[in-house]
A and B are shown apart, each in its own frame.
Chain A
Amino acid sequence: MPDLRELYQEVILEHSKAPRNYRELATANHKAEGYNPLCGDHFTVYLDLEGDSIRDISFQGSGCAISKASASLMTQSVKGKTRAEAARLFDQFHKLVTGQSPANGNRAELGKLAVFSGVSEFPVRVKCATLAWHTLHASLEGKQGTVSTE
């Protein structure tokens, strides 16, 4: 039986209550919106891209604890990274939350993001955990419109 404490780890609860980089970014030159119609989660991700690297990143919006904490931790994880590094991190994060990541694999690279490993036991919550990442991806690609998880 999946363990609730694995899903709602302290770090996740703490970030959902006090999300980091939760503001509009005055210097943003990219932004994208993400929407999860299933639970009404709605986030905007702001990016300040300098050349190939993410100089600054922030987000705003509303959603469940998992989606909000994921957005918060994502902004911390990708700040200062290049597009390629951010894309690689998303790939690893996606594998982690969908249970495709070997337990003793490359989790070191994920750093704090490893707290989301419990999500893989709750398949309906994968969309919550990845919403901000899909939105970041769209923002990096310069896509117009709203990203939807449905």
Chain B
Amino acid sequence: MTTAANRLPTESHPPQVGDASAELDVQKARSDFPILRQRVRDRTLVYLDNAATSQKPQVVIDAIRLYYERDNANIHRGVHFLSEHATEEYEAARKNVQSFLSAADASEIIFVRGATEAINLVAQTYGRTNVHAGDEVLITAMEHHSNIVPWQILCEEKGARLRVAPISDSGELLLEDFENLLGPRTKIVAVTHVSNALGTITPVQRIIEMAHRGNIPVLVDGAQAVPHLKVDLQALGCDFYVFSGHKVYGPTGIGVLYGKSALLDAMPPYQGGGDMISSVTFEKTIYNKLPYKFEAGTPHVAGAIGLGAAIQYVNGLGMDNIVAHEHELLAYATTTVSAIPGIRLIGTAREKAGVLSFLLDSIHPHDIGTILDQEGIAIRTGHHCAQPVMQRFGIAATARASFALYNTREEVDALVEGIQKVREVFA
């Protein structure tokens, strides 16, 4: 059989040569990301806005380009050569996600636009079916707006109540309070795995155990966790897990909803249309099996293939190596940035990943961001789509540096120098 791989000589889909037992070679990894080679504002780009979106390695860019150059066709129903190959590649990407997250079955992996759409899907299907007047949805005080607003919409429609578990001054979930908020009215728990504004790694394992004692399903928002932690769904046992491809070196517009088969099977469809049916008459429509029941319309085929390539890339480097590198880098950044006079860190949990949120004297974060930008340093400033977190700390905004596998100590040093420059301007 002619395979997609041998039809054209190509630089794409190279053999995965990464040695997962070795340490991460950051300089080598940096060379995989073409965007990092450029200069901005006459400076070497220092990209520290990875919690917003990560940059893309050449293998991901090539996978998308190659799909359109060589394989583009609509999937699943085509009888022709290209359609067959496009379908194979799309489904291979699904299997990549499945093994990456250790899901039990590929049919539990549903491709969506991103974490936001995945949460909306669960709120509008599982939520609308199971949450009624007087019921409660439990979240935490450190959720991104995307894990607040879909539940607010649901609660408003149903006359249900949104409960919020509090966090400590260091940005850790108060587990006892969380447990006390679980009750017979709680119909679903939705909790972030890693806070995008604070960097806190939440104790999802214990949260899931507590909720499951009352047979309450748990959705975990993994948007900030999947790029920085090894996620094992079999070990976690959560009912739903969501993430966005673009934060884990994949393209925008593609993300994943994982759900346990039994729950997904019982849920009504989210959107109706092509591909999500097995037969349609004007009298009755029979829905397709999983995962297609939740993938109405032509999906983002190129995006899924790009995400598959991103996961292969991460696997090639070794997730353990990435975790170790980023852990060391965050510790270094925490130490060096804290040492700057006038710095106040927001989010000092014991377990953190990827994020350093800070304030500098009474200087507004937006001014910090503008001055760092002039040094070629990209950070995020503002409320990070987590306004309740800002309210919890009594602030309007923070400056946030966030890290990825390709960031270096030298870049942290550049950040520290940049912050010193901010102090000089506002001296």
Contact = CB atoms under 8 A, between A and B. Distances in A.
Given A8-B367, A8-B371, A42-B396, 9 more contacts: A2-B374, A38-B366, A38-B382, A39-B381, A39-B396, A39-B397, A64-B365, A65-B364, A66-B367
A42 B383 CA distance: 13
A40 B390 contact: yes
Interface string B376-392: 00000111000000100
A8 B421 CA distance: 13
Contacts of A38: 366, 382
A13 B366 CA distance: 14
Given A40-B383, A40-B397, A64 B42 contact: no
Q: Per DSSP, are chain B's interface residues mostly helix, strand or loop, or mixed?
A: mixed
Contacts of B42: 1
Q: Per DSSP, are chain A's interface residues mostly helix, strand or loop, or mixed?
A: mixed
Interface string B348-385: 00000000000000011111001100100000011100
Closest 10 CB pairs between A and B? A40-B396, A64-B364, A39-B366, A64-B366, A40-B397, A65-B367, A64-B367, A4-B374, A8-B425, A39-B382
A28 B374 CA distance: 41
B303 to A, nearest CB: 28
B193 to A, nearest CB: 26
Nearest to B383: A40
Contact of A13 (B374, B381, B396, B426): B426
Contacts of B370: 4, 7, 122, 124-125
B77 interface: no
Contacts of B396: 39-42, 62
Contacts of A62: 396
Contacts of B390: 40
Given A1-B42, A2-B374, A40 B382 contact: yes
8 contacts: A2-B374, A4-B371, A4-B425, A8-B426, A39-B381, A62-B396, A64-B365, A122-B370
Interface in A30-84: 38-42, 62-66
By size class, the interface of chain B is 10 to 19
B365 A39 contact: yes
A128 interface: yes
Nearest to B382: A39
Nearest to B364: A64
B41 interface: yes
A83 B368 CA distance: 35
Most buried by A among B366, B396, B425, B426: B366
Interface string A113-139: 000000000101100100000000000
Contacts of B363: 65
Most buried by B among A7, A38, A39, A63: A39
Contacts of A65: 363-364, 367, 426
Contacts of B364: 39, 63-65
Interface string A1-35: 11010011000010000000000000000000000
Contacts of B425: 4, 8, 13
A39 B367 CA distance: 10
Nearest to B426: A13
A65 B367 CA distance: 7
Nearest to A124: B370
Nearest to B381: A39
Nearest to B375: A4
B39 to A, nearest CB: 11
Contacts of A1: 41-42, 374
B379 to A, nearest CB: 13
Contacts of B397: 39-40
Most buried by A among B367, B390, B425: B367
Interface string B396-427: 11000000000000000000000000000110
Most buried by A among B370, B371, B381: B370
Contacts of B366: 38-39, 41, 64, 66, 125, 128
A7 B396 CA distance: 22
A1 B381 CA distance: 22
Contacts of B382: 38-40
A65 B396 CA distance: 14
Nearest to B41: A1
A125 to B, nearest CB: 7
Contacts of A63: 364
Nearest to A13: B426
Contacts of A4: 370-371, 374, 425
A106 B42 CA distance: 33
